[in-house]
Structure 1
């Protein structure tokens, strides 16, 4: 893992990129008569990018946050949700698209997608534009642990098994990825015995779990600040956690366990119900301009699928293995694939039972 104490963090490197973008797009006054509503994770769109867009177009970006894929899906499934753009991934985008709740995207309206390779395009399918990508791993407090976690076992079978100090997440897909990988199973399995074994591993871990709320949401609300020292997290989360905690030395670090991990790709989709379709396309095209995509990725400390944008990033970011993992890590990574709906329903029942059992303690 790259040590981050000896160099500036990515979000502190945005000034050069911001200056470049400012020269390319002169500021104009904001008149927010129009707006786009974006359904997304918290802290997942650069404020500088938003300000640049609003100054250029006069269109306000309003964000509604979710803290799990299940919560996102609940919103998108409701009639009249008034979402103009939504953060999705391949499985959810394909299912909502098949129900005609998401637009099949028109490449002719998105010429900047020429900077995004087919590998990433395929990871979002017909109904999504690649936005950011990364890994699933362990965020940890380097100042509170005696040693760096190297294995999923460190998270799932912790030495302090009866002391609550770990934060997991409610997402029915991602929480199951780690026990499945540790047990040398596919993250896409629909085999009930394999899912049961993963569930049993999570149940055995539960006495060490503080909460199943997404770690950024939990710590931003000032809960468990003094107790949490490990969390199931996404690459880039450690940077937000260090901002949230506001302590010196950037104690939150991130590691991809040696057994391998989930390689995730987040996409942006347009609901068919939006009344702002043309404006939504314009915003997607804006986000894929190399200078804007580079600014966004640098500010968030997350990997961009935009090749032209990556070339604009400072060397410190391009060589940061927590953001752009080496090929050896990618070779051990798995990606989500479409599976029978029954498999997804089983996963949701597993997580519901896990959380109910934890809450009943």
Structure 2
């Protein structure tokens, strides 16, 4: 899921902001050690990082990726120096079964008791739940007279020959929209269904500015004057408004009526990591309700930590773009393991799509 983070957010209630400000000593702590985290860019609260470094003297060094494929490339390298990695169930199980991730020792993580039963088994044997959300459409409310309601608004846009949409380079998530629109399973291995999804994306491509994560793209300031829709994750709209620095928060987010992908991000410990004790300490730290609530509030992303959610102000916990209604959750799908051949087909689709777009 996601490049999702804003600076200390205006979404904090006064009480949360006060608590955050009390977390840090007035003098900086010199970090004698470093813990390396493979993560989406800015997907960990600065307040959480500062408190960890102040309490432990251990610096958090983040290595960033902007797609699941690129993360997997890093983890597959024999010489990587990663101590903790963001993951999800399918890649976590795959890398764990290959011996590249350690099975999680649940006894070493007492704070996992705070995870909601709904999410406690969502990450498998090699990871713990971190954050969760949906896939949908981010859009500029100030540039679009009518808010998108359907995947068709993104995939079959009225301005079909005018580049104004940002998609993403991800062989899984880019196909979810067309599959959901056609009422197919996002886990399909059917060549016919995948080809129909590819054809829909090909027809859309003349309206696409770039196949790049929206936050990465707009941060580069290349398309800020043109982009008014993007394939996005819940919470991204908050960051897009921060990136562009626009008054009035014109970027909004909607889950299309045909349904959505329900994703959960997890945290894993690579088998070759040299700082296992510190890694477990960090996983337990991030699962502490007081820490999890700061992280979720600053990022504007849903936490699986039930005790942390109870501490959130109503403006966040009742925001349906962050915590969708039960009806939306019931009309959602999750990724499931599939044959490698189907995954390779998906990768060929995204490569063909991007190559054809770049060749124009």
Range into which the TM-score falls when normalised by the shorter chain = over 0.9
- Could you tell me which residue of structure 1 aligns to residue 209 of structure 2? 210
Give structure 1 regions of 4+ aligned residues with deviation exceeding 4 angstroms.
21-29
Asked whether the 8 Å contact 1:165–1:209 carries over to 2, the reply is yes
CA-CA distance at 1:29 after TM superposition: 4.5
- Could you tell me which residue of structure 2 aligns to residue 5 of structure 1? none
- Could you tell me which residue of structure 2 aligns to residue 108 of structure 1? 107
- Could you tell me which residue of structure 2 aligns to residue 328 of structure 1? 327
TM-score, structure 2 normalization: 0.95
The question of 1:172 aligning with 2:179 is answered no
Query: Alignment partner of 1:274: what SS?
Result: coil
- Could you tell me which residue of structure 1 aligns to residue 19 of structure 2? 20
Question: Counterparts of 2:257 and 2:26 in 1: how far apart (Å)?
Answer: 47
- Could you tell me which residue of structure 2 aligns to residue 270 of structure 1? 269
Cα separation, partners in 2 of 1:95 and 1:14, compared to 1, 3 Å: farther
- Could you tell me which residue of structure 1 aligns to residue 3 of structure 2? none
Q: Pairwise mapping of residues 196-235 of structure 1 onto structure 2 (< 5 A)? A: 196-235=195-234
Cα separation, partners in 2 of 1:140 and 1:36, compared to 1, 3 Å: same
CA-CA distance at 1:122 after TM superposition: 1.9
- Could you tell me which residue of structure 2 aligns to residue 91 of structure 1? 90
Summarize deviations over 1:8-62 as a string: whole Å, max 9, x none.
Answer: x964416522533666786774121101111111121000110111111111011
Query: Alignment partner of 1:130: what SS?
Result: strand
Question: Counterparts of 2:299 and 2:36 in 1: how far apart (Å)?
Answer: 20
CA-CA distance at 1:64 after TM superposition: 1.2
Query: Alignment partner of 1:121: what SS?
Result: coil
Question: Counterparts of 2:123 and 2:35 in 1: how far apart (Å)?
Answer: 22
Could you tell me which runs of 5 or more consecutive residues in structure 2 were left unpaired when the two chains were aligned: 1-7
Cα separation, partners in 2 of 1:11 and 1:61, compared to 1, 3 Å: farther
Question: Counterparts of 2:199 and 2:47 in 1: how far apart (Å)?
Answer: 44
TM-score, structure 1 normalization: 0.95
- Could you tell me which residue of structure 2 aligns to residue 120 of structure 1? 119
Which stretch of structure 1 is more off in the superposition, 31-40 or 91-100?
31-40
- Could you tell me which residue of structure 1 aligns to residue 42 of structure 2? 43
Asked whether the 8 Å contact 1:216–1:240 carries over to 2, the reply is yes
Asked whether the 8 Å contact 2:13–2:313 carries over to 1, the reply is no
Question: Counterparts of 2:71 and 2:30 in 1: how far apart (Å)?
Answer: 29
Could you tell me which runs of 5 or more consecutive residues in structure 1 were left unpaired when the two chains were aligned: 1-8
* Cα RMSD, aligned residues only: 1.5
Asked whether the 8 Å contact 1:135–1:263 carries over to 2, the reply is yes
Summarize deviations over 1:256-286 as a string: whole Å, max 9, x none.
Answer: 0011100000001110111011101000100
Question: Counterparts of 1:147 and 1:317 in 2: how far apart (Å)?
Answer: 25
Summarize deviations over 1:133-186 as a string: whole Å, max 9, x none.
Answer: 000000000011121000000000000000000000001111100000001000
- Could you tell me which residue of structure 2 aligns to residue 4 of structure 1? none
Query: Alignment partner of 1:117: what SS?
Result: coil
